[in-house]
Structure 1
C-alpha cells in the first residue's frame, strides 16, 4: 500500500534539485510550493493545449515517467516503496546509456560492470 500523497514530492525535489536550475512544469498548483527553491520556474498550460513553448516543455519527463510506469507494471511483479530509489536508478541507467545517447550493447554492459567494480553482492538466507 502506498503512503505517498500530492505533497510527498516537494521535499524530495528540494533535496535533489540544484538551486540554479530552471524548472519546467505544467500548471499544477502544488508546484507553487517550490517557489524560491529554483532560479527560474516556467510552465506550460496543458489546459490550453500548450505542450511546448520554445524550450519549455514537460514532454521529456512525461515520456520518461511513462516508460518507468510500464516497466514497473510489466517487469516487477512484487515491488516495494522502500526500494523505489533502486528501481529509479535502474531506469535512469537505461535512459542515460541507450543507443540514442551513443551507447551500444557492449558499451552499456561495460558501464554496468564498471558500476559493480569493488562491490559485493550478499544474500540474506531465509529464516
Structure 2
C-alpha cells in the first residue's frame, strides 16, 4: 500500500531513479506493522538483518576530489 501522504510528509521529493527504494521501504513498513503482530523492536531487528553484510556507497571519492 503506497501512501501519498507518507511521501509528501516524510520525503517531500522522490527522484524517479530512486523510486524503487522508497516503495520497498513503504512495503517493508506495511508488511511489518503492529496490526500484523510485529512490534517496533521486531521490525528494527528485521531491518538490521536486511542490511547485514551490505555496504552503502554513493560515489567514489578520489584524492583529486579532495583537492
**Shorter-chain TM-score: what band?**
0.7 to 0.9
* Superposition CA RMSD, Å: 1.5
What residue ranges of structure 1 are gaps of 5+ in the alignment?
1-63
More strand by share: 1
Which residue is equivalent to 2:37?
102
More helix by share: 2
Which residue is equivalent to 1:83?
18
Q: Whose RCO is larger (CA < 8 A, sep 6+)?
A: 2
Deviations 1:54-86 (A, max 9, x none): xxxxxxxxxx23xx2111111112321111111
What residue ranges of structure 2 are gaps of 5+ in the alignment?
none
The TM-score, its normalising length taken from structure 1, stands at 0.44
Which stretches of structure 1, 4 residues or more, deviate above 4 A after TM superposition? none
How many aligned residue pairs are there? 61
The TM-score, its normalising length taken from structure 2, stands at 0.79
Higher gyration radius (CA): 1
Question: Which of 27, 34, 44 is residue 92 of structure 1 equivalent to?
Answer: 27
